[in-house]
Amino acid sequence: MIYPVISTRTPIFLTNLKTPRIHESCIKLRSISRSSQHQNPIENDIKPKTQFINPVLMTNTKSHYGFQAMLSLCGLGYWVQGFRCFPWLALNFHMAHNLNFNPSTLQLVQNSANFPMVAKPLYGILSDAFYIAGPHRIPYICIGVLLQILSWGQLALIPVTGQTLPSLMACVLLSNFGASIEEVSKDALVTEHGQKHRIKGLQSYSLMALAVGGILGNFLGGYFSHKLQPRTMFLIFSALLSFQLAISSSECLGLSHRQTPTGKSITDNIRKHLSGLMIAISEDTISKPLTWILTSIAMVPILSGSTFCYQIQCLNLDLSVIGMSKVIGQLMLLSLTLIYDHHWKQIPMRKLVGGIQFVYAFSLLLDLILVRQINAGIHISNEVFTLCFSGLAETLAQFKILPFMVLLATLCPQGCEGSFTSFVASTVCLSSLVGGFWGVGLAALLGIKGGDYTSLPVGLLIQFVAALLPLGWIYQLPMSCPAEKEMKKCIDETQVFERVVGSVRI
């Protein structure tokens, strides 16, 4: 059960949310609220001593910019986020061919670039506590998109920037810094609107938009990789980001009339949201599934850099083939998300996640089939095998996170959507970084380097065994994703009544 963020002016200590005493207090609050609403001032000649100052209306009203506007804005943002594979495919090709990076260096750059993602809780707490010009989340989206334009635009317009490792890393870090700020704001918008409008599972629609962007980005990236220079592809993506910035800015200017909450300093707001975040993640209903998903990601060594270099150096696969394999992988991700949204939500969570993890572990052996050329023995070419099976493991690794995002978004405390969702996203990113650096260390330990991939099958087998181990503590996951519970509704009503009572002058 999630403890809500409680105002420090009228503290309420909830030691046991399952006791009947809380339920009785909720009933009393409902009765007091109803009696105050149905009171007829005409029948009473005595002027009441209690007067409400700016009373809070207990009605379900949509936000100023509207639910549809939020869906359009976040849908575009998630689509562009998925399309980021378009410049990244060109960047990986540039590092492998033009700069001649070895597999370990290539994977080190890929994983080190994600360090700004680890600091997502800081961006989330700041977006919860500090409003910029009124519209709250949208200015942070604009800032994140602007930083990405500066980084990719610099790589496109200044040739020397992409020729040295330090300048290249600086641009990539700036890009991911902006992307992390934008992602935090989008995730918080989706979570808070899903709770406000009682819509469960909006994260699946976000993943659909992400997959559609990934499909188009990988397809166009693989097609234009040999027709355009990497700088040209960077410039195209910068133009797309500029379009997103224009849309977000126009939406932000249309909401400039929204009032910024007052009465507390930024420090007090940050302290309140931080304490609420710490209380929330200490709950067993959140900490146990979060611990499972983090360990299941972190303990699997990622050998994507070694596999990528093996495909283009030893198998001489065209980059368009690799791009199309990722397109097929994103199509599978979109299909799995649609199936989950319509059918698999009813499956017990422990059973669903256990099945996904089992299939994911065996999908890692598909690269072993390619390395050992077992596919050639059954008359399947490397191109066909790569197209059909190369992106399956990555697809399942992305899809495995979706049930956890739906579960944790359902349990997210109201008022700290940004800090909570960003904490979850950053810990997932941190576990991915651990898996990536674990893969770099494993490749160095086994002696996997450019031109020598004799030990790559051993690394792939270690991947398979590590992916099976989390099934040993699958019991930490709940049997099902909890729905909106009555006790949570009572706590929400208690918060509403507190705001009403807090605005009363006697």
The structure tokens listed for 257 are 């009339």
Neighbour tally for 487: CB within 10 Å = 13
- Residues listed for the chain: 506
Q: Quick one: which H or E segment has residue 52?
A: strand 51-52
Give the ranges where 55-164 is alpha helix by DSSP (H).
67-82, 85-93, 103-112, 115-118, 120-129, 137-157
Q: Which residue, 133, 80, 88, 127, is CA-closest to 244?
A: 80
- Examine residue 14 and state whether it is found in any structural domain, yes or no: no
Number of domains in the chain: 1
Helix, strand, coil tally for the chain in percent (to 5): 70, 0, 25
**121 or 3, higher pLDDT:** 121
Report pLDDT for 53. Answer: 39
Cα–Cα dist 491/389, whole Å: 48
State the chain's maximal CA–CA distance in angstroms. Answer: 96
Examine residue 87 and state whether it is found in any structural domain, yes or no. Answer: yes
Which tens digits make up the pLDDT trace of 23-52? 444 444 444 444 444 444 434 444 444 443
Structural domain boundaries, residue 289: 66-497
Rounded distance between C-alpha atoms, residue 18 and residue 138, angstroms: 38
Would residue 112 count as lying in a domain?
A: yes
CA distances from 382 to 16, 23, 366, 378 (A): 60, 63, 12, 11
The whole-number average pLDDT for the span 303-323 is: 81
Q: Which two tokens stand for residue 51?
A: 């007067």
Residue 29 falls inside a structural domain: no
Distance, in Å, from the CA atom of 134 to the CA atom of 252, rounded to the nearest integer, reads: 9
**Alpha carbon distance 505, 54 (integer Å):** 11
Indicate whether 284 belongs to any domain.
yes
Residue 44 lies inside a defined structural domain of this protein = no
Residue 38 lies in a domain: no
Q: How far is Cα 186 from Cα 179, in angstroms, rounded to an integer?
A: 10
Q: Which amino acid is at 424?
A: V
Dump pLDDT digits (tens) for 455-470: 889 999 999 999 999 9
pLDDT digits (tens, 9 = 90+) for 59-92: 344 444 456 777 778 888 889 988 998 999 888 8
Name the pTM for this structure. 0.65
At residue 150, does pLDDT exceed 90? yes
Q: Is residue 113 part of a domain?
A: yes
CATH of the domain at 93: 1.20.1250.20
Closest alpha carbon to 183 in 430, 429, 425, 434? 425
